[in-house]
Structure 1
Amino acid sequence: MVDQVRVNQQNLPKKERYGIGELLKIIGLKRSTYYDERKRIINKNDKYADVKLVIKEIAEKGKWKGAYTYGYRRIMPLLEKAGYHVAEATLRRLMNELGVQPAMYNRRKNNRYSSYNGTVGKIADNLLDQTFDTTTPFTVLHTDISQVRLSDSNWAYMSVVLDQATKEILAASVSQSPNKLLIMDMLSQLEDNLPNNFNPVIHSDQGWYYQLDYYREKIDSLGLIQSMSRKGNCLDNAPMESFFHLFKVESQSEIKRCKNISQFTHLFNKYINWYNNNRISNKTKNMSPVDYRTHVLIA
Structure 2
Amino acid sequence: MARTRRSFTDEFKREAVKLCKQPGANVTHIARDLGIEASVLRRWVTQERGGVLDLRPNRPLRSEAATEVERLQRELRRVTTERDILKKAPRLLCQGPAVKYGFIARHRSVWPTRTMCRVLAVSHSGFYEWMGRAPSQRSQDDARLTRLIRESFELSDRTYGSPRVWHDLRALGESCGMNRVIRLMHQAKLQARHKRRRLPGDTGSRLENHIAPNHLQRDFEASGPNQKWVADFTYIWTAEGWLYAAAVMDLYSRRIVGWSMSDTMQAKMVSDALLMALWRRGKPSSLMHHSDQGSQYTSDDFQQLLKAQGITCSMSRRGECWDNAAMESFFSSMKTERLSRKVYRTREEARSDVFDYIERFYNPVRKHSKLDFLSPVDFEQGLTG
For normalisation by structure 1, the TM-score amounts to: 0.58
The answer to whether residue 257 in structure 2 is matched with residue 170 in structure 1 is: yes
Per-residue deviation, 1:164: 0.8
Select the residue among 282, 288, 302 that pairs with 1:195. 282
2:248 aligned with 1:161: yes
Render the CA deviation track for 1:56-82: whole Å, top value 9, x for unaligned: xxxxxxxxxxxxxxxxxxxxxxxxxxx
Q: Equivalences for 1:37-56 in 2 at 5 Å?
A: none
Q: Distance between the aligned counterparts of 1:191 and 1:159, measured in 2?
A: 15
**Pairs within 5 Å for 1:124-135:** 124-135=212-223
Q: Deviations over 1:199-229 (max 9, x none)?
A: 3100000001111211011122222110000
Q: Please, which of 314, 317, 322 is the counterpart of residue 230 of structure 1?
A: 317
Shift of 1:178: 1.1
Question: Is the contact made by 1:206 and 1:230 (CA closer than 8 Å) also made in structure 2?
Answer: yes
Task: Give the superposition deviation at 1:127.
Answer: 0.1
Q: Which runs of 5+ in 2 are unaligned?
A: 1-195
Residue 103 of structure 1: aligned partner? none
Pairs within 5 Å for 1:38-187: 115=202, 119-121=206-208, 122-150=210-238, 152=239, 154-187=241-274
| Correspondence 1:7-18 to 2 at 5 A | none
Q: 1:113 to 1:248 in 2, by over 3 A?
A: farther
Give the letter aligned to residue 268 of structure 1. Answer: V
Q: In 2, Cα distance between the equivalents of 1:187 and 1:163?
A: 11
Alignment of 1:15-26 (within 5 A): none
RMSD over aligned Cα atoms: 2.3
1:181 and 1:220 map into 2 onto residues whose CA distance is 16
Alpha-carbon distance in 1 for matches of 2:302, 2:263: 19
Contact in 2 for aligned 1:116/1:207 (Cα 8 Å):
no
Greater alpha carbon shift after TM alignment, 128-137 vs 278-287: 128-137
Q: Which amino acid aligns with 1:224?
A: I
In 1: Cα distance, 2:362 partner to 2:197 partner? 20
- Tell me, what secondary structure is at the counterpart of 2:382? helix
Instruction: Give, in whole Å, the separation in 1 of the partners of 2:203 and 2:314.
Output: 15
CA contact 2:267–2:295 (8 Å) conserved in 1: no
CA–CA distance in structure 2, aligned partners of residues 129 and 110 of structure 1 = 33
SS in 2 for 1:295: coil
SS at 1:128 equivalent: coil
Unaligned runs of 5+ in 1: 1-108
Identical aligned pairs, as a percentage? 27
Change (3 A) 1:159 1:113: farther
Tell which deviates more after alignment, 242-251 or 128-137.
128-137
Q: Structure 1 pair 168/208, CA: closer, same or farther in 2 (3 Å)?
A: same
Instruction: Give the direction of change, closer, same or farther, for the CA distance of 1:281–1:194 in structure 2 (3 Å limit).
Output: same
Tell me which residue corresponds to 1:205. Answer: 292
Q: Which amino acid aligns with 2:246?
A: S
**How has the CA–CA distance of structure 1 residues 201 and 149 changed in structure 2, closer, same or farther, with 3 Å as cutoff?**
same
In structure 2, distance between residues paired with 1:268 and 1:195 = 24
How far the C-alpha of 1:180 sits from its partner, in A, is 2.7
